[in-house]
Amino acid sequence: MSLTRRTLLGSTALLSFGLLAGCVGNGGSDDGATTDDPTTDEPTDTTDDLPDGNGTDDGAGGTRPSGGPGISLVGVDDAPDVPVEHEVEITEDLATDEHPPQVRITLTNTGDETVEVGEGRTVFFQYVSDTTSDLVFLPADGEYPAEAGCWRLEDHIAVTDEYRILSLEPGESRSELVDLYGVAQSEDEEASCLPVGEFRFEASFAVGGLSGASDDERQEATWGFSLTLE
């Protein structure tokens, strides 16, 4: 089935995205941050000799490379009662000048018969926005109007509204990488880069009965996950 309607994801002005690196320094501790000057008996601050911080606290007592915000999975739905199963994996957790945050979506046929699944882009969360329409996943191999390091769409993206059908053999898995972008905003909205907070993504799809088979074989399902940006 092929439709001609086109869907617009919105537009926005763009602001620059500033990143702050953490600082390292711990004066007065036993790690050598201060020393006594033998000529004055006064403590001398030597923190300038320590390397500049170039990371951010990862929340576990360590650091991660500069960049941000970073994404973390905070909830994944159980598999619905259909013969296919999703998996989501973070492949790029930080937004950097080189790439936006990225995840891999994998779909596996868990049944013992070949199944058809649709729509073929939606099941991999391509062009799927979060429930508040602040973020959107786009195919990782595309080029989009967004400034590197900021990753908020600056302009409209037109998407053909067609229905693609994916066929999976028993036990077969397929994966797609999708990048996370900020949704373009209207002119009267204040523009920013990737927002922080918790966001929910979900996709509705169909299994079976998609190319001439009986509608009785068609099953509808919804699956999703939640992530945070911070």
Span 93-140, pLDDT tens digits:
999 999 999 999 999 999 999 999 999 999 999 999 999 999 999 999
Alpha-carbon span 133 to 94, nearest angstrom: 20
Q: What is the mean pLDDT of residues 46-53?
A: 39
Residues 6+ apart with CB under 8 A from 11: 153, 154, 155, 156, 184, 185, 186, 187
Q: What per-residue confidence (pLDDT) applies to 197?
A: 96
Q: What per-residue confidence (pLDDT) applies to 26?
A: 36
In degrees, rounded to 5, the angle at the alpha carbon of residue 113 between the alpha carbons of residues 109 and 117 is 50
pLDDT at 46 over 60: no
User: Which pTM value belongs to this model?
Assistant: 0.70
- Range among 13-22, 205-214, 215-224 rated most confident: 215-224
Please state, for a pLDDT cut of 70, what percent of the chain lies above it: 67
Alpha-carbon span 88 to 86, nearest angstrom: 7
Q: What is the mean pLDDT of residues 23-39?
A: 41
- Higher pLDDT pick, 47 / 18: 47
pLDDT averaged over the chain? 77
Alpha-carbon span 114 to 170, nearest angstrom: 5
